[in-house]
Each structure stands twice: as C-alpha cells, then as structure tokens.
Amino acid sequence: MIQGMSHVAIWVTDQDEALSFYTEKLGFEVRTDTVIEGFRWLTISTPEQPNLELVLMKPFASPMMDQETVDALMTLIRKGAMANGVLSTNNCRQTYEELKAKGVEFLAPPEERPYGIEAVMRDNSGNWFSLTEPK
C-alpha cells in the first residue's frame, strides 16, 4: 500500500546553481548529493519537512528521454512554463520581503486569496512556485 510521497523532481538547468539558490536563498538543506554511474542524485528538503525531498534534476538523454525531449524540456524550463507547486509559509508578507531582499524574483506580490495569502516566485532556472500562507 502506498504510504505517501517521498521525492518530487524539480527540473533545473544547472544543478550547482539550483543547489546554491535553494540552500542559500530559500533555506533548504542537502539530504543527498552523490554521483551514480555519471548521474548526479541531488536532493534537498526543508528542516520542517525532512521526509519530502526535492530532487534537483537536470534533464539528460537516457532510455527514458531522447535528446530532442531534453532540448524541449530545457526550453520550457527557461521560458518559465513549469509550475512546480506550493511552498507554504506561516507569514507570506514577511517571507516575501526576506526572499526579495535575497534577490528572489517574484512574479506577483502577496495578495489575499480565498485560500490564504499568496505570492508567486520563480527559481533561478525559471520554475515558478506559489508561496502561500494558508487561511
């Protein structure tokens, strides 16, 4: 029986740059950083939710993805076409100000929504996330 989600992949354009962004600007911690047969398995999580790891994954040609698909995915990432989820916070306005001061790009400032207060941010690869303080 499935008991939950343990890992979620975030497609990034450069793993080292993404690692720096997520740890230094967003406060995530490294859980795994290892190379297996030329493939880098790089995972991070927040201190508050260590059982859910984000895999910072750079698209690469493999039996599951040909080079044409890799190129298309990289184009979509860079265009900012990838929405990757919701990052929760207990104070959206404060977190927005803190992250903005660290150079995080926001597509929308905090606004009241039916589900809480939300700001929309982008990582350094182009992926965007909702930063939400739930009601």
pLDDT in tens, 47-56: 999 999 999 9
pLDDT for position 71: 95
Q: Where are the domains of the chain?
A: 7-134
At residue 61, the pLDDT reads 84
Q: What is the reported pLDDT for 37?
A: 86
Residue segments in the chain with a per-residue pLDDT below the cut of 50: none
Q: 7-134 belongs to which CATH class?
A: alpha beta
Burial class (CB in 10 A: 0-12, 13-18, 19+), 41: middle
Beta strands in the chain (DSSP E): 7-11, 29-36, 39-45, 53-57, 83-88, 105-113, 116-122, 128-134
Confidence (pLDDT) at 64: 86
pLDDT of amino acid 29: 98
Q: What is the pLDDT of residue 63?
A: 82
pLDDT at 85: 92
